[in-house]
Amino acid sequence: MASGKFITFEGIDGAGKSTHIGFVADLLRSRGLNVVTTREPGGTALGEALREVLLHQKMHLETEAMLMFAARREHLAQVIEPALARGDWVISDRFTDATFAYQGGGRQLPLAKLEALEQWVHPHLQPDLTLLFDVPLEVARMRLDATRTLDKFEQEKADFFAATRAEYLRRAAQFPQRFRIIDATRTIPEIQQELAQIIAALQGPAA
């Protein structure tokens, strides 16, 4: 059986990543592949309950980081690992890079602590492809303001998002083999055209 791949979507709030998840999933499904779409924090009943707490309650920074990884542990056990074991493709709206970017970059938690949690929770698994939707802060903020009531993270100030974005870009440079930086200031059709090319290259001609 062909083995499925694990694709993650990342970026600061308002970059536009959620807009494109359905497009990429449909692209893969149209080629006969089984695709599971999911999100973090969340993806399981417990994970969604933790998401409610994480997005709306104030807490110690280390509690926040550990709850992100607790939700992830459940998500891996219940959704991601079984799907990959079946040969399905998995698309997750955020994964561990988000913890490095938000809790590490944005909130300045030492990265070594996050690396320790990562080693604990998924020592042997990394995404096959991480699509980093990158936009300047002002663009992201404008897109967010236009659409919704802001949660705990979305209410953070510009310097928080500058540090979050910088950590995402630092990780993209650190792991160039799995990251693709998407210039998300472009129009949705332009971005979709690039996504289609990236997915075609990932999938290979024979699939």
Ligand X SMILES: Cc1cn([C@H]2C[C@H](O)[C@@H](COP(=O)(O)OP(=O)(O)O)O2)c(=O)[nH]c1=O
> Residues annotated in the binding site, as ranges?
11-18
Q: 60, 112, 147, 174: which one contacts ligand ADP (CB under 6 A)?
A: 147
Q: CB of residue 5 vs ligand X: minimum separation in angstroms?
A: 20
Q: Total number of residues binding ligand ADP (CB under 6 A)?
A: 15
Cis-peptide, bond into residue 41, ω within 30° of zero: yes
Q: Are 61 and 107 in contact (CB under 8 A)?
A: yes
Report the partner that residue 39 touches, choosing among ligand ADP, ligand X, none (CB closer than 5 to 8 A by kind).
Answer: ligand X
Q: CB of residue 18 vs ligand ADP: minimum separation in angstroms?
A: 3
Nearest to 98 by CA among 78, 123, 118: 118
Q: Total number of residues binding ligand X (CB under 6 A)?
A: 16
- According to the binding rule CB under 6 A, does residue 106 interact with ligand ADP? no
- According to the binding rule CB under 6 A, does residue 42 interact with ligand ADP? no
Annotated binding site for ATP: 11-18
**What is the Cα gyration radius of the chain?**
16
Q: Residue with the closest Cβ to ligand ADP? A: 16
- According to the binding rule CB under 6 A, does residue 88 interact with ligand X? no
Residues that bind ligand ADP (CB under 6 A): 11, 13-19, 133, 143, 147, 184, 187-188, 191
